[in-house]
Structure 1
Amino acid sequence: MKISKEVFNGATIFIGIGVYFLLMNALGFADVFYLRLLNIVFVYYGVNKTIQMNIAEGKKTFVSNAVSAMKTSLVGVVLSVFGLIGYSYMQGGDNYVQSLSETFLFGGNPSVETYSFSLFFEGVASSVIVTLFAMLYWNRQFTAD
């Protein structure tokens, strides 16, 4: 059974983000908000790789590439949110989430579910933005629909 390029590259995004955040945690930088923004590099890499693979296969329509790129980033977001849920419960559940940086989306005492739900919507929004930037970069390669 062959895994689609969207799932493969989405899993690559998840692994990259997971290793990055575990490394940040091990080095004591988990609470630095600005370092968390660098996860966009992994999302862009996966989306860009999917578009490159599509073009190499001869798929050069804008819409089909945009859908494929969006699927890739959404797979990465969904896997990352589930990974965060699992990791949060391994680290103490709600107490762990409350120890995370309060600069992320909201303050107060969020639960694992609330935090993950907010992260999901933030991830979807960033997926749309990254997909649009990648599509603008590759625009000259696409044919008109």
Structure 2
Amino acid sequence: MKLPKELYNGCIIFIGIGLYFFSMELLGLADLVYLRLFNILFVFYGANRTLKANFKEGKTIFPYNAVSALITSLVGVFLSIIGLIAYTYYKGGDSYIQTLPDTFLFVGKPSVMTYSISLLFEGIVSAVIVTFSLMLFWKKQYPSD
């Protein structure tokens, strides 16, 4: 059974983000905000792979490709949030959240779910922005009416 390319590339996004954050933590760089911003590159990579595959398959309908890229990005985001929740509980749950750097925009003492839901919203927004950006880039490849 072959996985749909959206799911496959979403898993690539998840693995890339996971390995990136694990390596940042191992190197002691997890508290540097600007390095955490580079995770969007993995979302660009996975969504762009989906669009390339669609184009090679002859699927040039603009809305279809926009939905396909968005689904790929959202799969990566959802899997990453699930992975974050699992990792956070593995490291100690709410007590681990309190040890994270104060560079996040949380007031008080957020719980694992508060932390994860806010990152989920951030991830959804970034998935939409990545999709729009890639569709603008690929627009010349997809003829419109």
When normalised by structure 2's length, the TM-score is 0.97
| Matched residue type, 2:79 | L
| 1:32-111 matched pairs, under 5 angstroms | 32-111=32-111
Shift of 1:103: 2.3
Paired position in structure 1 for 2:4: 4
Structure 1 portions without partners, runs of 5+:
none
Over 2 Å off, 4+ runs: 101-105
Q: Aligned to 2:143, what secondary structure does the other structure show?
A: coil
Task: Indicate conservation of the 8 Å contact 1:14/1:76, yes or no.
Answer: yes
Per-residue CA deviations over 1:25-74 (Å, capped at 9, x if unaligned) read 00111111111000011000001000000000000111000000000000
Q: Distance in 1 between matches of 2:107 and 2:94?
A: 14
| Matched residue type, 1:17 | I
| Matched residue type, 2:5 | K
Paired position in structure 1 for 2:18: 18
Q: Distance in 2 between matches of 1:25 and 1:4?
A: 32
Paired position in structure 2 for 1:126: 126
Shift of 1:136: 0.6
Aligned length: 145
| Matched residue type, 1:53 | A
Paired position in structure 2 for 1:138: 138
Shift of 1:129: 0.4
Shift of 1:143: 1.9
Structure 2 portions without partners, runs of 5+:
none
Per-residue CA deviations over 1:8-36 (Å, capped at 9, x if unaligned) read 00000000000000000001111111110
Q: Aligned to 1:38, what secondary structure does the other structure show?
A: helix
Task: Indicate conservation of the 8 Å contact 1:97/1:111, yes or no.
Answer: yes
